[in-house]
Structure 1
Amino acid sequence: MARRKKIYEGKAKILYEGPEPGTLVQYFKDDATAFNAEKHAVIEGKGVLNNRLSEFFMTGLAQVGIPTHFLRRLNMREQLVRQVEIIPLEIIVRNFAAGSMAKRLGMEEGAALPQPIIEFSLKDDKLGDPLVPEEYIIAFQWASQQDLDDIVRLALRVNDFMSGAMYGVGIKLVDFKIEVGRIWDGDFQRLVVADEISPDSCRLWDLQSGEKLDKDVFRRDLGNLTDAYAEVARRLGVMPTNATHITKPTLIN
């Protein structure tokens, strides 16, 4: 497919004009960032892995009736997605205390939460994606109360699917974040899961050892990030189970 006009470039992806109205081509870069891009590296193969893993999760969500923007994978780094109106929030679902939550509340990292907790942060890198309460969201009209109710239901359904998929391959889903977009059909709107779901946007720990298999490997200098992501892909059947250390991933079509 001939690449078209660049629409947007973020820290980990580029969006290009799609081949048909209402579509975009989403390109996965090898860039890894942390701490609001204060830490940055280019890690060969990361974009390929995230493309395939996000395809796996988005396809699985669609199979259980959870709507997403994903249409199909185009190649090893690109996928075709629906163009949506992104709600300017990151929706964070936490099953265990970790990261900023553990630090903020003085909790032991890994402590089980009594129930999944959903947090909202404003999508604004310059402000550090600050947490915002529902009252702010409604007052500033980033989303309506009905939107928030629908987003919470959607996020909990994603959590159920993701937790089960990860547990089945010996991985604990500690937390994750998603973005949600609106698709309009005349005056009717439908909310869908957008952006990506990958180890970039999840905390994934091995059930037995507690080994981290997500971007914390990069944040905390715990080892090779590609190896961690490749391990997740191997367990989910996206890569051969007998694959060894790789820098240019060879993935199953």
Structure 2
Amino acid sequence: MARRKKIYEGKAKILYEGPEPGTLVQYFKDDATANNAEKQAVIEGKGVLNNRLSEFFMTGLGNVGIPTHFIRRLNMREQLVRQVEIIPLEVIVRNFAAGSMAKRLGLEEGTALPRPIIEFSYKDDKLGDPLVPEEYVIAFGWATQQDLDDIVALALRVNDFMSGVMFGVGIKLVDFKIEIGRIWDNDYQRLVVADEISPDSCRLWDMETGQKLDKDVFRRDLGSLTDAYTEVARRLGVMPSNATHMPKPTLIN
């Protein structure tokens, strides 16, 4: 098999040139990072789980009319996606206070917010992905005011879908972050949800016990990250109901 051209490698994924123009192959790694990569580990099976879970969420979004870059899953670790121009922002949607918001505002984790709150952070690992106001986004040309209005509307639609899906399986969607990409058709721009949606990018708490089922398990040394992600996949029907752990995955290059 011909060696594929690597386009980009991040902390959790690798992007390769796709089989057709305008496509990429997105490969999910087992690497886990936290606190701006100050904490790192390789967790067996994590990439397989995130691939399957992101496929589930992206497919669901597409089914309710929310555009994404996802085309189809190729194998246990890879997806075929549309090549997009990524807007250099992380779009954070918060339903409950947790993590950095709770620390900044002195709120108890789990405090319900009066409405979903959307924040933007500038995508730059060296700077620690700092929060930025809308004025910065527009002034530095990362997005226009119309883009921001469309991004907010898109993020709230994703929140409605994700919250409902999670509520149905007894999980509270505390917060999540997404990335947005531009697809161009001549001079016409379309904004789509890109990157991934998985427990890596969400805070997910069991509604009855408050047990964390997301990357905070790794950040805060709360147990097995694979077990937490497997539980999310099991509840959503992505894995068999009797699954308790992920077998060692087969790497497909």
Q: TM-score, normalised by structure 2?
A: 0.97
1:90 aligns with 2:90: yes
Decide whether aligned partners of structure 1 residues 172 and 94 sit closer, same or farther in structure 2, where only a CA change above 3 A counts: same
Measured after TM superposition, the shift of residue 232 of structure 1 is 0.1
Q: What do residues 45-66 of structure 1 show as CA deviations (whole Å, max 9, x unaligned)?
A: 0000000000000000000000
Is the contact between residue 84 and residue 181 of structure 1 (CA under 8 Å) also seen in structure 2? yes
Indicate conservation of the 8 Å contact 2:230/2:244, yes or no: no
Q: Deviations over 1:141-191 (max 9, x none)?
A: 000000000000000000000000000000000000000000000000000
Structure-1-length-normalised TM-score: 0.97
Secondary structure in structure 2 of the residue aligned to 1:180? strand
Once the 2 structures are TM-superposed, how far is the Cα of residue 248 of structure 1 from its aligned partner? 2.9
Map residues 74-223 of structure 1 onto 2, 5 A cutoff.
74-223=74-223
The answer for unaligned runs of 5 or more in structure 2 is none
- Residue by residue over 1:114-135, the C-alpha shift from the partner in whole angstroms, topping out at 9 and shown as x without a partner, is 0000000000000000000000
CA distance in 1, matches of 2:150, 2:143: 10
* Cα deviation, residue 20, structure 1: 0.3
Shift of 1:2: 5.2
Partner of 1:34: 34
2: distance between equivalents of 1:241 and 1:37? Answer: 33
Kindly indicate whether the alpha-carbon contact (under 8 Å) linking 1:22 and 1:83 is maintained by their aligned counterparts in 2: yes
Name the SS for the 2:132 alignment partner: coil
Counterparts of 1:186 and 1:120, CA distance in 2: 28
**Helix, strand or coil: the match of 1:151?**
helix
Distance 1:2 1:58, change over 3 A: farther
Deviation at residue 249 of structure 1 after TM alignment: 6.6
Q: Show CA shifts across 1:79-130 (max 9, x none).
A: 0000000000000000000000000000000000000000000000000000
Contact 2:93–2:116 under 8 Å retained in 1: yes
Task: Find the aligned partners of 1:105 and 1:242 in 2 and give their Cα distance.
Answer: 41
Is the partner of 2:100 in helix, strand or coil?
Answer: helix
What is the CA distance between 1:243 and its match in structure 2? Answer: 1.2
Query: Could you tell me how far 1:247 is from its partner in structure 2?
Result: 4.5
**Cα 1:161–1:54 shift into 2, 3 Å:** same
Match runs of 1:235-246 below 5 Å: 235-246=235-246
Counterparts of 1:98 and 1:52, CA distance in 2: 26
Aligned match of 1:68: 68
Cα distance, 1:33 vs structure 2: 0.1
Does the 8 Å contact 1:226/1:247 carry over to 2?
Answer: no
